[in-house]
Chains A and B, each alone.
Chain A
Amino acid sequence: MSAEAAQAFLARWRPGPLMPRGDARDAGLVFVIAVLCFFACLAALAALAADRAAGGWTAQLQGSATVLVRPQGGESADAAAARAAETLSGVRGVSEASALEKDKALALLQPWLGKAALTDDLPVPRLVTLDLDKDAPASAAELQEALKADNIDAVVDDHSLWIKDIVRAGLWARAAAIGVFALTAAAAAVIAYAARSALAARHEIVEVLHVSGAKDPFIAGLLLRRFAGMAFGAGVLGAAAAAAVGAGARALGGGEGLTPALPVAWIDLAALLPCPLLAALVAALAARFAALGLLTSMASKANSFSKDWA
């Protein structure tokens, strides 16, 4: 190499990587992290959907109640229903009460009673629907009390049966959120293990770096960057796959999402955007702590091994 060639080399020269480039690029590792990211993203989508379902139902159900009125004595069904509506509209916590007309009541009841049974002389129970005050809704007990005071035979349905479903959806949301954490922790453990093995496999390089005056955080930083980069890529893959599944569920489910029970919204997919960054952050922390831990234990084992641990 002539002087000019040396100059040309120096002009083009960029410092090479202190740790070999391929270290965090093991295809198996990328696959495992991508799969964990995929499931974590799905769990995040499920948590959002379940939370929305629970929230939506709660809002709907809290705002309304239905009262079934049975005519008594000589009173006509319509009269009884009208009286019930009047009574109920006076109860604190009820913003509106209206009696359903006979036809509507019949239409609602038909599935249960059957067409044949609905003759004119059969006493048809009437329904009174209530809009409750959103902030301080009347309780079923209060409504029942008021009706009883006015001597009206009626059953109040405050939709409490549905509450069970809401609770269940809430539990689903929580379980899915815990799933996200568990998968994140699993990814962190996998990366910590991989970083540790990578460093152990490179102990000869580590020793040279140490003897040359490198500090532990500097060496840990070399691994940190490798694994954070790898996890970012795996996070992109996993999130993209989960977004595809989520979009599919949304498209299949039509306007309401997959099912009314798990309504996926387009906006939920945006929640997957931070996944690669989060994966990189988790990988960076895991790799750093694993590396620092191993470097410390290497140092404490100096000359207790047949290998040299600088």
Chain B
Amino acid sequence: MSRNPGQTSQSPDAAHEAEAVLSFAGVSMRYGRAPETLRDISFSLAPGSFHFLTGPSGAGKSSLLKLIYLAARPSRGLISLFGQDLAVLPRQQLPHLRRRIGVVFQEFRLLDHLSAFDNAALPLRIAGKPAKTYKDDVAELLAWVGLGSRLHAMPATLSGGEKQRLAIARAVVGRPDILLADEPTGNVDQEMALRILRLFLELNRQGTTVLIASHDHDLVARSGMPELRLEQGRMFAPEAA
């Protein structure tokens, strides 16, 4: 399959739609009885593509990611993930899909009672892998994100940027098919932001489909990757690419 970063479609009936890893068709979502947070969103992501999700604060970026990592359900429209229609997928099947998705949360959501090492290893452990098969890989990954000397540290003792890098390590450790990152460079300096971007680009090069919600215009511009822009819950055609 040809890798085609930036390949996206605003139209659900585009030719490559069938092979998209993710597609939204007329999706809306609301919290409780509040007005719709996302309205009539349609797009799809080709395998191996790389996109930024941009838009002002409150536009609905985190909410859109939540729909993808299956923590929220649309009030209207169809979402298909890895070719499966989420509306008809039984709940027991969700864990299998979730294991193919890596998520970096805006607020990290590290487990405070576990060491940095245990936090990073979490997805592998949940997937049932024996400890000895992943020990060295996890240590290597943590060294790679600059936490090689903090393996035993508890999250409470990490700086904001360290937490962010730990959250990123946890998201990528299982080599997910899709990586979702919500403001992954919000707490780090320019240099670290570029390093994190390089990590995402490297993962993308190895085949992971990447979607990054970001405010960081500079980073988006530097990466040269296309944008999906949200404004007040609506999506606008990508300008870049």
Looking at the complex, which of A10-18, A87-95, A242-250 is the stretch in contact with chain B? A10-18
Looking at the complex, which of A36-44, A126-134, A209-217, A279-287 is the stretch in contact with chain B? A209-217
State in angstroms the CA–CA spacing of A5 and B143 once bound together. 12
Checking B32, B69, B135 against A303 with a beta-carbon cut-off of 8 angstroms, the contacting residue is B32
Decide if B122 is an interface residue (CB 8 Å cutoff): yes
Decide if A119 is an interface residue (CB 8 Å cutoff): no
Decide if B205 is an interface residue (CB 8 Å cutoff): no
Decide if B117 is an interface residue (CB 8 Å cutoff): yes
- Give min CB distance, B114 to chain A, whole Å: 5
- A-B interface contact total, Cβ < 8 Å: 98
Contact check, B126 vs A218: say whether CB atoms are below 8 A apart. Answer: yes
Contact check, A1 vs B149: say whether CB atoms are below 8 A apart. Answer: yes
Checking B91, B98, B118 against A211 with a beta-carbon cut-off of 8 angstroms, the contacting residue is B98
Decide if A310 is an interface residue (CB 8 Å cutoff): yes
Contact check, B127 vs A213: say whether CB atoms are below 8 A apart. Answer: yes
Decide if A208 is an interface residue (CB 8 Å cutoff): yes
Contact check, A6 vs B139: say whether CB atoms are below 8 A apart. Answer: yes
Which residue of chain A is the closest to B91 with respect to CB atoms? A299
Given A10-B136, A15-B131, residue A211 in contact with residue B117 (CB < 8 A): no
State in angstroms the CA–CA spacing of A15 and B118 once bound together. 6
Decide if A308 is an interface residue (CB 8 Å cutoff): yes
Decide if B113 is an interface residue (CB 8 Å cutoff): yes
Q: Please report which residues of chain B, range 160-195, place their CB below 8 angstroms from some CB of chain A when the two chains form the complex.
A: 170
Contact check, B113 vs A17: say whether CB atoms are below 8 A apart. Answer: yes
Contact check, B126 vs A214: say whether CB atoms are below 8 A apart. Answer: yes
Would you call the interface of chain A mostly helix, strand, loop, or mixed?
Answer: loop
State in angstroms the CA–CA spacing of A304 and B33 once bound together. 8
Binary interface profile of A, 280-310, with partner B (CB < 8 Å = 1, else 0)?
Answer: 0000000000000000100100111110111
Decide if B109 is an interface residue (CB 8 Å cutoff): yes
State in angstroms the CA–CA spacing of A15 and B125 once bound together. 9
Decide if B201 is an interface residue (CB 8 Å cutoff): no
Binary interface profile of B, 81-116, with partner A (CB < 8 Å = 1, else 0)?
Answer: 000000000011001101101010000010101110
Size of the A side of the interface (Cβ < 8 Å), in residues, is 34
Decide if B76 is an interface residue (CB 8 Å cutoff): no
Q: Please report which residues of chain A, range 1-44, place their CB below 8 angstroms from some CB of chain B when the two chains form the complex.
A: 1, 5-6, 9-10, 13, 15-18, 20-21
Contact check, A213 vs B118: say whether CB atoms are below 8 A apart. Answer: no
Contact check, B117 vs A304: say whether CB atoms are below 8 A apart. Answer: no
Checking A5, A13, A306, A310 against B71 with a beta-carbon cut-off of 8 angstroms, the contacting residue is A310
Contact check, A303 vs B31: say whether CB atoms are below 8 A apart. Answer: yes
Decide if B12 is an interface residue (CB 8 Å cutoff): no
Name the residue in A5, A212, A296, A299 with the highest tally of chain B Cβ atoms < 10 Å from its Cβ.
Answer: A212
Given A16-B113, A213-B126, residue A6 in contact with residue B143 (CB < 8 A): yes
Contact check, B139 vs A210: say whether CB atoms are below 8 A apart. Answer: no
Given known contacts A214-B126, A305-B31, what 11 new A-B pairs fall within 8 Å (CB)? A6-B151, A16-B115, A18-B122, A210-B71, A211-B70, A211-B98, A212-B98, A213-B96, A306-B31, A308-B71, A309-B71
Could you name 20 residue pairs across A and B whose Cβ atoms are closer than 8 Å?
A1-B148, A10-B135, A13-B117, A16-B118, A18-B114, A20-B113, A207-B109, A208-B109, A208-B122, A211-B69, A213-B96, A213-B123, A215-B92, A215-B95, A302-B71, A303-B73, A305-B31, A306-B31, A308-B72, A309-B71
**Which A residues lie at the B interface, using CB under 8 A?**
1, 5-6, 9-10, 13, 15-18, 20-21, 204-205, 207-215, 218, 296, 299, 302-306, 308-310
Lowest 3 CB-CB distances: which A-B pairs, in order? A213-B99, A1-B149, A303-B72
